[in-house]
Amino acid sequence: MRRNHSFVVVFASLTVWGVVTYYIFLQQPLGVPNVDILEGREGEELRVSGKNASSRATTSLARKLQKESRVEEHLNRLETKLKEQFSDNDQLIKDIKLTIQEHPVELNTSSALANYTSGLPQIIKKSALKAVANAESNRSINDNYEGELSDEEKWKKEKEDEEVRHIRALAENKLPGGAPVIAVLVFACNRVTVSRCLDQLIKNRPSQAQFPIIVSQDCAHKPTAEVIASYGEQLFHIEQPDLSEIVIPPKEKKFKGYYKISRHYGWALNQTLFKYNFDTVIIVEDDLDLSTDFFEYFLGTYPLLQKDPTLCYWDDWIRQPEQRRNRACIRPELSRTRTFGKIGVSNGHFFEKHLKYIKLNEKFVPFTKLNLSYLLKDNYDVQFVKRVYESPVITYQELKSGPIVHEGPVRIPYHTNDIYKRTSKMLGLMEDFRSGVPRTGYRGVVSFMYKGRRVYLAPNANWKGYDPSWS
């Protein structure tokens, strides 16, 4: 907290410094030229004072023109300096944010909850950035204000401001028993079938006050926007404003869609966490079917995310060491979501090979009534390691064709990334690594069911951690 306070003091001091600098420049008399610049010019003008009257008249006119030129030059310099000052202040805010993000352990952070299904950016830790973010959110409503607005623009702005106040009031609402208010952020683009997802969210959510739905739309696709708008006051509809083309390195052209998704996620998460002041958010994409206990699952596991700093949220990008920071994700083995969107930025590749085989849970589980403390790291790791490495070792051939005399779970070992890839491919698992982390792996172990038997695809028992060179 002390470090967080120091960042607030630094930010406030530099903001005051910027304002004072602005007024110093603004109040300098425009007719008083810069002395250092004008000394040489005055000398040149004095050297023509001995000429005739005609020359003096010409010189007087020249002086007047030079003076006007100097005033214009001064104004241009002032404008440039002010722009540089504002640019420096914006950069300062970014630097403070980055510094705080790089030292999350030293700050009083709260977690955010997410349900990730494709390549997404990491959720920002809100409380660590709240001191800086509040300064931004207080001015964010007026970000686009320049000069006088037309009546239509004023009406639009007033409507937007009122919606922001309404959403913030929901975020700050105190529910009975201290229950959390959790925003549901739905990402949409150009699928009119977003209604299929929204219908299930609205049907299954326990309370509109506890789970306000925000639909963030990219692409400016009018038919999709009309579908979202048809839900009226059951949700909030926001639109990502930056539809410009993104400069992409030539080698990355095939990932253009992912670049746009990343931009959309960054904008929408900043809106939800900073502008609207939510502390927690569940992320849903527009092509998901949901189980009936979808909200119950997140409510049941929310206390774990608050208590255990080694927990985070799933995503390919988060498998990288700089994001993961030795954290893990709790997930239901039987999925609470299933994608129905075959066509997307991955062109249906993963859908045909993997996603269409996902089994959606059909039995309601009362997670909030269960004791889930066994999932806390200190409790879970001991039992998990014991269970995995006490399992008898078998080969893939034995698993596939031979009768196994052992009851219970079995283990197939791997020692290199090549062995892992070959084995997982034969088993029909996704064989990819990200910075040494196998998909769905925990402590390098991938757990799955094969013909009704629990199988662990596991590294050596003396596992030392992930090797980022495995890819």
Instruction: Identify which of 302, 304, 323 has the alpha carbon closest to the alpha carbon of residue 314.
Output: 323
CA pair distance 204, 294, nearest whole angstrom: 8
- Quick one: which H or E segment has residue 212? none
Catalytic residue among 286, 315, 316, 432: 315
Q: Catalytic annotation on 315?
A: yes
- What is the number of other CB atoms lying within 10 angstroms of the CB of residue 237? 17
Strand partners, 282: 184
Strand partners, 457: 412, 446
Q: What is the CA radius of gyration of the chain?
A: 30
- The set of residues, in sequence order, having a beta carbon less than 8 Å from that of 41 and lying 6+ positions away, is 66
Q: Are 424 and 433 in contact (CB under 8 A)?
A: no
CA pair distance 256, 219, nearest whole angstrom: 14
CA pair distance 196, 288, nearest whole angstrom: 8
Q: What type of residue is 90? A: D
Q: Are 385 and 442 in contact (CB under 8 A)?
A: no
The tokens of 140 are what? 């964010």
Catalytic residues, which ones? 315
